[in-house]
Every structure is written in structure tokens, then in C-alpha cells.
Amino acid sequence: MRGFAIGRNFYWLKPGTYAKRTRLFLFWRFGFRVSFLSPSSPPSPSKMAASSRAQVLDLYRAMLRESKHFNSYNYRTYAVRRIRDAFRENKNVKDPVEIQALVNKAKRDLGLIRRQEFQ
């Protein structure tokens, strides 16, 4: 199955559609060339952003959930407050490399919380 992109929008061609005829029609109708993309094209940045957003939200929820298992009230409230502050502090980060580094750090911290909660 093939598709084409116009600006940010992506459209799939139905099976049996003539790609050349569709391309000529779009050029005639809209006055610009259309680039066709194969199904093996890399995911668009918006899909990657949505994926990392879901991953970050899952990680945030898991950290809050696990931190509520601390026996001591002081540790429990400190952990919840620190997690919320850290995620709020980094909510405007746009660089994918930095986001991945922060996600990796949060995963390590989640493992630490899971190991420490019953001691």
C-alpha cells in the first residue's frame, strides 16, 4: 500500500488505485507536485511525539503509584512531591535526545523506588 503527503497531511491510496493517475490529478487540481511515500517510511514526528508522550505519562503514573507504597509518611510525601516537581520542570523539553535521556533516568529512578519501598 502506498501513500502520499501534502504538507503535514498523509493520505493512503486504496489498493487498486492508479498512483500515476492520482499524482497527475493532484498536480492538475492543486498545482504542486506530490511526493509518494512507501509503507516503510519512517514515522512522522507527530507520531513519535505521541509515542514518547504516552511513554512519559505511563512512567509518571507508575512512579507516583510506586511511591505511594513507602511505609513512612515523610518519605512518601517527599517522593510524590519530588516526582511531580521533576516532571513539571521538564515538561517543555523539545529535544528528542534530551527527552530520551530523561526517560532513561526516570526508569532508573523507578527501579530504585521499587527496590526501596519495603525497607
Rounded to two decimals, what is the model's pTM? 0.57
Domain parsing of the chain, residue ranges:
3-37, 45-116
Residue type, 78: Y
pLDDT tens digit string along 38-61?
544 555 555 556 668 888 999 999
Q: Say if residues 105 and 89 touch (Cβ distance below 8 Å).
A: no
The per-residue pLDDT for 49 is 63
The per-residue pLDDT for 52 is 80
Beta pairing partners, 13: none
What's the CA gap between 66 and 14, in Å, rounded?
47
pLDDT tens digit string along 75-113?
899 999 999 999 999 989 988 889 889 999 999 999 988
For residue 32, give the 3-state DSSP assignment. coil
